[in-house]
Amino acid sequence: MTTRQVGEPVQRREDPRLLTGNGRYLDDLGLGALQAAFVRSPHAHARIVDIDIDDAWELDGVEAVYTWEDLDGRVGEPLPVLIPHPALTHPRTGYCLAKSEVNHVGEAVVMVVARDRYVAEDACGRIQVTYETLKPVVGLENARAAERLVHDDAPGNVAANLLQEVGDVDTAMAAAPNTLTLELEIERSACMPMEGKGVYARWDADDASLRLYSSTQTSTGVRAAVAAKLEMPLAKVEVVTPDVGGGFGVKIMHPWPEEVLVPWAARRLGRDVKWTEDRREHFVSSAHERGQLQEVTVGFDDDGRLLALDVRFWHDNGAYTPYGIIVPIITATQLLGPYKPGAYRVEFWSLYTNTVLVTPYRGAGRPQGCYAMERTMDAIAAHLGLDRTEVRSRNFIQPDEMPYDHGLMFQDGRPLKYDSGDFPASLAKLKDLVGWDDFAAYREQAAREGRKVGLGIGCYVEGTGVGPYEGGHVQVETNGRVNVATGLTTQGQGHQTVLAQIVADQLGVRLEDVHVTTGDTRRMAYAVGTFASRGAVMSGNAVALAAKVVRDKALRIAADALEVSPDDLEITDGVISVKGAPGTSIDLKTIAVMSNPLRYAFDTAAQAATQFSGAFDPDKPPVADDDEPGLEGQDFYSPTQATFANGMHAAVVETDPVTAEIRILRYCVIHDCGVMVNPMIVEGQVHGGVAQGVGGALYERMVYDEGGQLLNASFMDFLVPYASEVPHVETDHLETPSPLNPLGLKGAGEAGTIPVTAVIASAVEDAEGFPIRSMPISPAELWELRRQHSSVPAALEGAS
Amino acid sequence: MTDAATEQKLDITLTVNGVRRTASAPARRLLSDFLRHDLGLTGTHVGCEHGVCGACTVLLDGEPARACLVFAVTAQAHEITTVEGIGNDPANLSPVQQAFAECHALQCGFCTPGFVTTITAYLDENPRPTPEEAREAISGNLCRCTGYQNIVKAVVRASEIVREREEETR
Amino acid sequence: MKPAPFVHHAPRTLEEAVAVLGDVGHDGKVLAGGQSLIPLLSMRLASPAHLVDVNGVAGLDTVEVADTHVRVGALVRHAGLERHEGAAAALPLLRQAVRNVAHPAIRTRGTTVGSIAHADPSGEMPAVTVLTDGVVEAAGPRGRREIAAADFFTGPLETTLAEDELVVAVRFGRLPAGTRTGFVESARRSGDYALAGVALAVGLDGEVVTSARASFVSVTPVPDVLDLGPALAGRSARDLPLDDVVELVRSHVDPESDIHAPADYRRMLAAELTRRVLTTTTTPTEGAA
C-alpha cells in the first residue's frame, strides 16, 4: 500500500525549478519584444488640457505613442465595474488612458512603445502634458466632509452606503447595563508582491489570434475582459499565467488598463509588446487597501456578554470602484469573528478619494473588522476588570451551535453561516501555547528589570473558498504520466504540489507521475481565480472530483479486461489489481492505451490499441455511444456557500521605556483550516501571513500629503519588514474538517494576516496601560501617545 | 542629457559563472538588465531597482552586490556569479538550494535567487551560523511570502548539508 | 526606472580622472560605489550628461594605517574597511560605525569616501570624519588640496568640493591612547537610514573622564562635533551627570521632521542614544582605542 499523500509535508514539486533560476516570470518571457512605458499623472486631481507628444516621436527606437484619442472601439470606453451591487449607487471606473481628467497620482495618461524600456522612459520624459489642477480629496476625514468632490456626480464622495441589521439594536442597546463607544482608525497598506504586474502580448496576424501572458491571479478573467475590450472571439484569445512573483490580491483586478493596452498595441503594431511594471509604478498605479475610520458602540451585561453591537465605518475606496464594495462588505460581516453579537447593526460608507484605488489585499477587509471587534473585546474587559480571554470566551459561538447562521449576507451573496469550528478548544490551546496564565508573573519580573512588556490577543473567523466554482481536468497518458489542469493561478501557494497530492491519493498513482498546470486557458477554459483563500478548497475538490471520474472509467475498463467487478479493484502506484489478489493486475497506463482506440501506433505501447490488435469487440463501435476516447475526465466543484476557517493569535511585546521602540518577543498562532493537505505549506502560509500582518501593524503605511502625493513610494520609505523585524512564529493547529466539501478543507492563505494588527494593538495597550485606537503604530507615535497620557509609571522612571 | 538617438553602444565583456560573455549595450545598462536581457540569464530578478529588496543580488568577485546598483560597464573587470552559476540543474541542487527545498524556504520564488546568492557567500565566510546569526545574515533581502522563518531554518540546514557532502566525498 | 543616457568615462589613472573631470565636471558626476547615485539616476532624479567612473583608477583602493591617522582611499569599499584589522585596531570607531552602513550587499560596493563626499546628514561616515578631525584629500585641475572635515561639510548633500574635483582619500585622525569610542544608531528597520545616531569618543584616565566628544547622524544638518568635555571632564565614569549630557545633546541637535518621525522624537532619541552609548563606552573593557 502506498503512502497516503494528503496530510504529508511533502517537498514542493515547483522548487527545484525556481531555485535554480529556471522559473519563468513575466519579464523573463518575450526577449526582444517591444517594451511599453507610461506617462502617469503627477497630479492627484486635474483636467488634461493638452498633450504634446511630438518630441517623443523624434527618438530613435520609439515605435508608438498613444493617448486616449487613439483608443478605438471599446478600448476607449470606461473600464468595467466588475462586481456591481445594489448599494453601489455611484460606481466609477477609469479609462485605460485618462480621457479628460485624472483622479490620482499615477493614473496612466500616455502609452509609449519602444525598442526597450530605457528608450520608452526617455520618450516619456519628452512628453508634455498640460494640466489644469483641481483641489484633491485626500484622507477619509476630507472625503467624509465632502467640501470637495472626487467625481462631480458622486455626491458626498459616497460610492456606496450599506446597512445591515439583525435584531433590534436600538432596543437592545437601550436596555444594556453597560455601553462603550470606540473610535478607531486603521491606515492604508498594500500587497507589495516582490514581482510587480506585467503583461506580454503575442499577436499572430496570420491566425488573427492573441496569446497573452499576464502576471495575474485570474487568467480566465483577463481573457474574458480582453476579448470583450478588443472585440475578439473568445476562441481567439488565450491567456497563460507564467510563474507569478506573489499576488496577495493586487493581481486579481481585471483588467488592469495595461492588460488591455498591451495586447491592443500588439495587434495594432503587429509586434510582440511587453510591459513590466516597475516598483514606483506599482506604488502609484496598482492598488492599496485597509484605510478605514470606525465607530463601534457596544452594549453588554456585567459578565461581558454582548447584547448589542452597533458599528459604523467609513471605507476609503480610492479614486475608482472597479472591484465594487467587496472589501467593506467583508469587514461588515467578518467583524463578528467567533462571537455572538446580540443585536447587530453595521453601516458603512465607501468613499472616494483622489488616491490609488483600493482592492482586496490579503485579508481583504477582515483585518479591519477583526481590529474593530477585538479592540472592543479588550475595552469591555478593561471596563469590567475581567480577563480578556474570559470576555471572549463568554461570547463564543459553541461547537454544538454549528452550523451557526448570523442572519447576514456574505461577500458571495449567500448567508453568513459558519459550518464548523471549536473556538473554546482553540482558545485553550492558545492560552497554553503563550502561557497566558503565567504572564502576570513575567510582567512583574520584567518590571523589576525596568522593562515594559505586554500580552495581546486576537481571534478571527475567515470565510474561505467562496464560489462560484473551479474545475479540474485529469488525463492519464499512455506512459503513465498524469496531467492535471485547473484554471486558477498560482503565486507561490504550492498548487503544483498540493493538487498533485490530492490527485495521487484519489487516483492511486505516484506523486512524481502527477503534473499540474494552473492558470492556462488553453488547458482549462473555465475558472474564476485565486483569491479569498479558495485555491485548495475549490481546485482541490475540483481535481479530486475529476480524478474520481478518471478512476471510475479506469476501473470500468480494467474490470472488463480482468473480468471482475469494478468494486473488487483497487489502484496503487498506478497499477490496478484485484483486492486481495495483487497478482491479477493491469497497469493504469495500459488502460490509457485501451481507452483510446487507434488507427496508428506511434510506439510499442500503442500497438495494443490499433484495429488489428484483436482487443476490441467487432460487434461494438470502438467508442461506445455514452463514452469518449481517452483516459481523462473533467469535473467542477461548486459549493453552496463559503467554508469558515478560524484562528487565534497572541503576542508578547516589549516597549522601550524611553524610546518607545516596539519589539515582538513572542508570536503564537492557533490555526484551524480544517484538513491540511500539506502541513508544511499551511505553516508557510501562516508565517507569511503573520509577517505581512506585522508589516501592517508596525511598519507599513501609505503616506499621502494634502496634495495627494504619495510620499513614500519606494522600498526605502515604505517599510516592508526584513527578517530582522519579523518574529519567530510559534504555531499549533486544530483540524476541524469542513462538512461542506468532500476533502474537508478550509482555506489557509489569508488567515495569518487577519488578526495581527488587532493582536499588536492589544499587546501594546497591555504594556502601556492606555488605549490604542489607531494602527499601525510607530515608536514615534507611541512616544507621542505617552506624552499625551503622561504615562511613564513611577516604577519605570528610574530606568530612564 | 545625451540624445538616445546617438547613444553610443559599447561591447561589454563580463565573466559570468566562469564564462566570458560579450554583448553590445549602452553605458547606462544596469548589470541586472544586462544579465537578464542581453545575456538571457533571467534567474536574477528585479524587484525594486533601487537597491532595497535584494532580489537582484549577485556575487561580484564572490561578494554579494545589488546588480541593479552596478552598471554592466563597471563590472567588466569582475567575476559575476548568478543563481544559475550556483546551481542551474534542478536535479542537482547546491547545498543552499537543497536546504531551501527541504525547509520550504520559498513560496513564489521571486526573491529566492537573491537569497541563494547571499546565503551561499555568507556560508563561505561563516560555515556554522546559529539561527540568530542566520537571521541577521538574511536581513538585507526582502521576502513577501515566507515570513523568513523557513529561510532562517534553511541557512542553518544548508550549513549542515555542506558538511554532509564534504564527509561523503572524504 | 532606468537611467537617462550619459557619456561614460573610464579613466585608468588619477591624472586622467582629474583631466576628464576638468572637462566635464560641470555636467558630470563621479561614479565610485554608486550605491546612492545609481538609485537617483534610475529614478531620474538626477541625469548628469557624463559619469566619470573611477572604479578602474589604480591606486585608490588602499587603507593605510599611520601613527596619526588611518587613510582610506577613494575606492575602498565599506566592507573592505570593515574587514581591515589594522584600521580596526588603530581606530575602532571605523568598524563600529561602518557596520551600521546599510546592508552587507550595499557595503561590498559602496565606498566610505563616496559616502563622505555625498554628505548625506544621515550618513554614518561623515559623522566619524568630523569626530576624528578627519582630512579630505581632493584632487582637481588646480592641483591637490586638503580640506579639514570642519570645513568640508556645508549643508545636506553639500560640501566645499568643487564640481571638477575628486576626493582621493580621507584621513581619519587617530585618537589619543586611552580614548574609548562607541557608535550607536536607531533605524526603523535594520539597515535603514537612522532616525538618529551618535558617534562618541571618550578620553579616560583610569575611571576619570578627561575628554568627551560626540557627533551625530540624521539629526544635524551638517555633521559637527559636540564637545561634552566641559560637562564630563574630571568626573568619574561611575558617576556621570547623564541628565546634563541629555540636555546638552537636546539643545545641540536640530533634527527635521519626516514621515518616519517628528523632530521632537529624533531629538529625544539622539539624547537617549548618547546617554546609552556613553554608559556602555565608559564601562570597563569596551571600545579601548
* Max intra-chain CA distance, chain B: 60
Q: Is the pLDDT of residue A188 over 90?
A: yes
> Can you say whether the dihedral through the CA atoms of C265, C270, C271, C272 is positive or negative?
positive
CATH level 3 topology of C7-52: 3.30.43
Segment A546-580, tens digit of pLDDT = 999 999 999 999 999 899 999 999 999 999 999 98
Question: Which pLDDT does position A79 carry in this prediction?
Answer: 97
Nearest-angstrom CA–CA distance, A659 and C195: 11
Q: Is pLDDT at A620 greater than 90 in this prediction? A: no
| Residue C42 with chain B: CB contacts under 8 Å | 30, 49-50, 68
DSSP string, A6-75: TT--PPPTTHHHHHTT---BGGGS-TT-EEEEEEE-SSSSEEEEEEE-HHHHTSTTEEEEE-GGG--GGG
Domain that holds residue A535: 467-595+630-637
Q: Which long-range contacts (CB under 8 A, 24 or more apart) does C209-216 make?
A: C209/C233, C209/C234, C209/C235, C209/C236, C209/C237, C209/C240, C209/C282, C210/C178, C210/C234, C211/C179, C212/C278, C213/C131, C214/C131, C214/C249, C214/C274, C215/C127, C215/C128, C215/C130, C215/C131, C216/C127, C216/C249, C216/C252, C216/C253, C216/C270
Task: Decide which of A261, A285, A309 is a domain's last residue.
Answer: A285
Same domain, A477 and A419: no
- As given in the structure block, the three cell numbers for residue C276 are 546609552
User: C109 touching B, CB under 8 A?
Assistant: yes
Residue B10: which of A585, C10, A785 has the closest Cα? C10
Mean pLDDT of C270-279: 97
- As a whole number, mean pLDDT of residues C118-126 equals 97
Report chain B's terminal Cα–Cα distance, integer Å.
59
Number of separate domains in chain A:
3
Is position A648 within any domain?
Answer: yes
In this structure, the number of other CB atoms found within 10 A of the CB of residue A61 comes to: 17
Contact, A381 vs A178, CB < 8 A?
no
Mutate to test the interface with A, among B59, B104, B111, B153 (most CBs of A within 10 A): B104
Instruction: Name every chain B residue with its beta carbon within 8 A of the beta carbon of A27.
Output: 36, 42, 46
Query: Under a CB-based contact definition with an 8 Å cutoff, are residues B119 and B138 in contact?
Result: yes
Mean pLDDT (chain C, rounded): 95
Beta carbons within 8 Å of A92's beta carbon, 6+ residues apart: A151, A154, A159, A319, A320, A321, A352
Based on the domain organization, do A325 and A393 belong to the same domain? Answer: yes
From the list A117, A722, A783, the residue facing C2 with the nearest CB is A117
Are A658 and C272 within 8 A, CB to CB?
yes
CA distance B99 to chain C (A): 22
- Out of B63, B86, B109, pick the residue that ends a domain: B86
Same domain? For A261 and A323 the reply is: no
Q: Give mean pLDDT, residues C134-158.
A: 96
Chains that touch B (3 or more CB pairs under 8 A): A, C
End-of-domain residue from the set B86, B121, B153: B86
CA-based nearest residue in chain A for residue C259: A703
Look up residue A518 and give its three cell numbers.
Answer: 494552473
Using one digit for the tens of pLDDT, what is the confidence trace for B84-138?
A: 999 999 999 999 999 999 999 999 999 999 999 999 999 999 999 999 999 999 9
A703, burial (CB in 10 Å: exposed 0-12, middle 13-18, buried 19+): middle
Q: pLDDT at residue A623 above 90?
A: no
A591: cell is: 488502460
Whether the pLDDT of residue A638 is over 50: the answer is: yes
What pLDDT, on a 0 to 100 scale, did the predictor assign at position C205?
Answer: 93
Distance CA C77, CA C13 (A): 19
Mean pLDDT score, A191-213 = 98
Together in a domain, B15 and B79: yes
Helix (H) or strand (E) holding C113: helix C112-118
Verify whether the Cβ–Cβ distance B73 to C79 is below 8 Å. no
Provide the sign of the torsion angle of the four alpha carbons C97, C102, C107, C110, taken in this order.
negative
Q: How far apart are CA A760 and CA A664, in angstroms?
A: 8
Give the mutation candidate from A116, A719, A781 for the C interface (greatest C CB count, under 10 A). Answer: A719
Instruction: Please check whether residues B59 and B40 belong to one and the same domain.
Output: yes
User: What is the arithmetic mean of pLDDT over B130-150?
Assistant: 97
Residue type, A432: D
Count of CB atoms within 10 A of residue A13's CB? 21
Continuous H helices in A311-438: 326-334, 366-384, 388-395, 423-434
**Are residue B19 and residue B60 in the same domain, yes or no?**
yes
Check C6 against B2: CB less than 8 A apart.
yes
Angle separating helix axes A366-384 and A388-395, nearest 10 degrees: 110
**Same-domain pairing of A670 and A735:** yes
The confidence score (pLDDT) of residue A612 equals 78
Is there a contact between A507 and A591 (Cβ–Cβ < 8 Å)? Answer: no
How many whole angstroms separate alpha carbon A101 and alpha carbon A429? 55
Quick one: B17 and B34 in the same domain? yes
Query: Which residues, in sequence order, are bridge partners of residue A578?
Result: A569, A581
Q: What's the pLDDT at B4?
A: 47
Domain match, B70 and B103 both = no
pLDDT of residue A252: 93
- pLDDT-wise least confident of A635-639, A789-793, B6-10: A789-793
- C33 vs chain B: nearest CA distance in angstroms? 8
Residue A580 domain-assigned (yes or no): yes
Who among B10, B63, B140 is closest to C191 (CB)?
Answer: B140
Put simply, whether C53 touches B (Cβ < 8 Å) is yes
| Same domain for B159 and B117 | yes
Asked if residue A797 has pLDDT above 70, the reply is no
CATH T-level topology, domain C179-282:
Enolase-like; domain 1 (3.30.390)
Looking up residue A263, the CATH number of its domain turns out to be: 3.90.1170.50
Look up residue A108 and give its three cell numbers: 496612466
Q: What is the pLDDT of residue A2?
A: 60
Q: Are A323 and A650 in contact (CB under 8 A)?
A: no
The predicted pLDDT at position C287 comes to 45
Q: What is the pLDDT of residue A603?
A: 79
Output the nine-digit C-alpha cell for B69. Answer: 546598483
DSSP readout, A142-171? HHHHTSS-SSTTSGGGEEEEEEEEES-HHH
Residue with cell 569626530: C131
Cα A446 from Cα A439, distance rounded (Å): 10
Cα–Cα dist B3/A126, whole Å: 11
**Closest alpha carbon to A114 in B4, B2, C266:** B4
Assess whether A222 and A304 both reside in one domain.
no
CB-CB under 8 Å, A783 with C259: no
User: If you average pLDDT over residues C257-278, what whole number do you get?
Assistant: 97
Cis previous bond, A622, omega within 30: no
Q: Name the residue among C2, C38, C53 with its Cβ closest to that of B69.
A: C38
Do A661 and A519 lie in a common domain? no
Closest C-alpha to A23, from B55, B85, B33, B45:
B45
Above pLDDT 90, what percent of chain A? 91
pLDDT in tens, C174-222: 999 999 999 999 999 999 999 999 999 999 999 999 999 999 999 999 9
Q: Among residues B67, B86, B105, which one ends one of the domains? A: B86
Which positions in chain A touch C36 (Cβ < 8 Å)? none
In eight-state DSSP terms, residue A458 is E
Average pLDDT for A428-442 = 97
Chain C nearest-CA residue for B27: C8
Sign of CA dihedral A355, A360, A364, A369: positive
Cell 583631466 belongs to: C19
**A103 with A238, same domain?**
yes
Angle (CA) A275 A279 A285, round 5°: 70
Q: pLDDT value at position B53?
A: 97
User: Closest Cα to residue A241, out of A57, A584, A492, A434?
Assistant: A492
A237 forms bridges with which residues in the sheet? A210
pLDDT exceeds cutoff 70 at A152:
yes
Which residue type sits at A580?
Answer: G
Enter the ipTM: 0.97
By three-state DSSP, how is residue B169 classified? Answer: helix
Chain B residue set in contact with C, beta carbons under 8 Å: 1-4, 7-8, 10, 26-28, 30, 33, 49-51, 54, 57, 60, 63-66, 68-71, 73-74, 77, 118, 136-137, 139-141
Domain count, chain B: 2
> 10 Å Cβ neighbour count for A762?
28
A435 in the Ramachandran plot: left (φ > 0), alpha (ψ -120 to 50) or beta? left
Position C254 pLDDT exceeds 50: yes
Please answer yes or no on whether A778 and C188 come within 8 Å at the CB atom: yes
Residues A328, A403, single domain; the answer is yes
Q: Evaluate whether A260 touches A197 at the Cβ level (below 8 Å).
A: no
**For residue range C40-61, what is the model confidence (pLDDT) as tens digits?**
999 999 999 999 999 999 999 9
A462 and A514 co-located in one domain:
no
**Together in a domain, A317 and A268:** no
What's the CATH number where A566 sits? 3.30.365.10
Determine contact, residues A38/A110, Cβ cutoff 8 Å. Answer: yes
B74 to C34: CB separation less than 8 angstroms, yes or no: yes
Examine the domain organization and report whether B115 and B53 are in the same domain: no
Q: With contact defined as beta carbons under 8 Å apart, do B126 and B31 qualify?
A: no
Domain range summary for chain C, segments of one domain joined by +: 7-52, 63-173, 179-282
Average pLDDT across chain A, whole number: 95
Same domain, B38 and B107: no
| pLDDT reported for residue B162 | 97
Chain C nearest-CA distance from A26, in A, is 17
What's the start-to-end Cα distance of chain C, in Å?
45
CATH number at residue B56: 3.10.20.30
Cell numbers for C122:
544621515
Whether residue B10 sits in one domain with residue B77: yes
**Residue B70 structural domain:** 4-86
User: Mutating which of C41, C122, C188, C195 best tests the A interface, going by the most A Cβ atoms within 10 A?
Assistant: C188
Q: Is the pLDDT of residue C288 over 70?
A: no
Identify the helix (H) or strand (E) that includes residue C274: helix C263-282
- My answer on whether B78 and B17 are in the same domain is yes
Residues B77 and B52 in one domain: yes
Using a CB–CB cut-off of 8 Å, the residues of A that contact C are 117-118, 121-122, 125, 278-280, 658-659, 661, 699, 703, 711-712, 714, 716-717, 719, 721-722, 724-725, 778-780, 783-784
The shortest CB-CB distance from B7 to any of C5, C42, C103 is to C5
Q: How confident is the model at residue C285 (pLDDT cuts 50, 70, 90)?
A: low
Pairing of strands A178-186, C166-173: unpaired
Residue A43 confidence (pLDDT) above 60: yes
Chain C CB contacts of A659 below 8 Å = 186, 268-269, 272
A654 plus A690 within the same structural domain? yes
pLDDT > 70 in chain A, percent: 98
Query: B131: domain CATH number?
Result: 1.10.150.120
Residue-level pLDDT at A618:
81
Residues of B in contact with A20 (CB under 8 A): 43, 83-84, 87-90, 93, 97
CB contact under 8 A, B28 and C4: yes
The CATH architecture annotation of domain C63-173 reads 2-Layer Sandwich (3.30)
Record: contact C1-A711, CB cut-off 8 A: no
Is A12 within the bounds of a domain?
Answer: no
pTM: 0.96
By the 8 A CB rule, do A418 and A402 touch?
A: yes
Q: Would residue A139 count as lying in a domain? A: no
Alpha helix (H) residue ranges in A203-353: 219-230, 257-269, 279-285, 326-334
- Chain C residues with CB under 8 Å of B1 CB are 4-6, 47, 49
Cβ-Cβ contacts under 8 Å between A and C: the total is 61
CA dist C288 and A526 (Å) reads 71
- SS3 at position A135: coil
**pLDDT at A50 > cutoff 70:** yes
pLDDT value of position A791: 53
The C-alpha cell 493617448 sits at A67
**Are A552 and A419 contained in the same domain?**
no
C-alpha cell of C139?
Answer: 584632487
